[in-house]
Structures are given as C-alpha cells and as structure tokens.
Amino acid sequence: MSDTTTTAASQLPTGEPNISHDNRRYWEATAEGRIELPRCTACDLVIWYPRSICPDCQSMDLSWETMSGNGTVYSYTITRAGVGRKWREHLPLVVAYVQLDEGPIVLTNIVDTDPSIIEIGMAVTAVFHDTGHPISDEDGAPNSAILRFTSVS
C-alpha cells in the first residue's frame, strides 16, 4: 500500500472536498491512505467518480472496495502556464489521467517524478496529499487527502 506521508516540498495545492452522501466513504478512505470506490453489486462495474448510482445499469445497490493503488499513465501533460495563481509556484506541473489496475481512469497529478521520464503506459502508484480539512465535524476526525501518483521506480 502507498505511503501516506509526503514531504512539504512535494505537496501540491489541495482544497476542501465536497464530502456528501455520494462520496463519504471515498474521502474517509483517503484519510487512511487508501482508495475505496463503489462497485455495482448488480453489474460488477467499478465506478469513478464515486456516486450513489451505477451509471451503467442504474442500480443503487453498491458496495465499497479498496483498490490496489497501482496504475498506469493513460495520458498526461506538462503544464507550464495558463493555471490559477495557487498553482504558479508549482510549475511545471504534471496533470495526468491514470488508469487504475482495477479499470477506472482518474484525473490526477504525477508528483516526485522527473517530468522528462513520464510516458503513456508508465507504471505509477498512489500517494496522498493532506487537504488540511477534517472528514467530519467530530472531534479528532482525520483530514481528507487528495489522490496523486508517483512513478514506481
């Protein structure tokens, strides 16, 4: 499983997620350094992004499963300009679509990886960046985290 700790240098900007009935399990899992996604009990589809309905068969009977955290790069771009202020000090920034081994292709960043070695098909593994925002109002609730990836090698 992936390392949940990251150094300040590699931490990219985050934000406060909209935690809702659609996605609460996902964000709770990120606080533990895991990816949990809904799987449709009727048609077996693993669903990204997390939600309350299967978009293939419209069943609302979903179970939640932990993903391996491993995947490959489906596409990427090295962004050098044209982003909002909070991203500018982090340029060049690698934005990517990563295909999880379980199937879904997720929007993310590739971090702690020399941009010049990134290519489509490259193996990557999950890392989590603390959002600074607790997953609930309860005392001592852990913070949610943003899912990013780094090269395996």
Partner 1 sequence: MTQRSRAFIAGAYEHPLRTIPDKTVPQIHAEVAIGALADAGLTMADVDAYYSAGDAPGFGALSMIDYLGLDVSHVDDTETGGSSYLVHVRHAAEAIAAGNIDVALITLAGNPRSGGAGPGGSARFSSAPEASFENFFGMGVIGGYAMAAQRHMHEFGTTGADLAEIKVAASTHAQHNPNALLQDVVTVEQVLESRMISDPLHLLDACVITDGGGALVVVSEAVANDLERHTIPVLGTGEAIKGTNAGRVDLTHTAAVVSGPAAFAEAGVTPADIDYASIYDSFTITVLVTLEDLGFCEKGKGGEFVRDGALQAPFGKLPFNTDGGGLCNNHPANRGGMTKVIEAVRQLRGEAHPAVQVPDCKLALAHGTGGSMATRVGSSTLILGREV
Closest CA to 73 of 116, 112, 109: 109
What distance lies between CA 79 and its chain's CA centroid?
Answer: 19
Q: Which does 9 bind (CB under 5 to 8 A by kind): Zn ion, partner 1, none?
A: none
Sign, CA dihedral 81-94-35-13, equals negative
Q: Name which of residues 105 to 134 contact partner 1 (CB under 8 A).
A: 105-109, 120
Check residue 40 for interaction with Zn ion (CB under 5 A): yes
Q: Which does 134 bind (CB under 5 to 8 A by kind): Zn ion, partner 1, none?
A: none
Backbone angles phi, psi at 148, to 5 degrees: -130, 175
- Residue placing its CB nearer to partner 1 in the complex, 29 or 146: 146
Q: Of 16, 32, 56, 112, which lies in the binding site for Zn ion, with binding defined by CB under 5 A? A: 56
Q: Of 14, 72, 136, 151, which lies in the binding site for partner 1, with binding defined by CB under 8 A? A: 14
In whole angstroms, how far apart are CA 9 and each of 6, 13, 26, 28, 90? 8, 11, 26, 25, 10
Check residue 59 for interaction with Zn ion (CB under 5 A): yes
Question: In this structure, are residues 2 and 127 in contact, taking their beta carbons and an 8 Å threshold?
Answer: yes
- Residue placing its CB nearer to Zn ion in the complex, 60 or 91: 60
Instruction: Quote the CA–CA distance of 16 and 144 in Å, as a whole number.
Output: 8
Q: Which residues bind Zn ion (CB under 5 A)?
A: 40, 42-43, 45, 54, 56-57, 59
Which positions touch partner 1 (CB under 8 A)? 12-15, 17-19, 22-23, 45-51, 54-56, 74-84, 87, 90, 93, 95-97, 100, 103-109, 120, 146
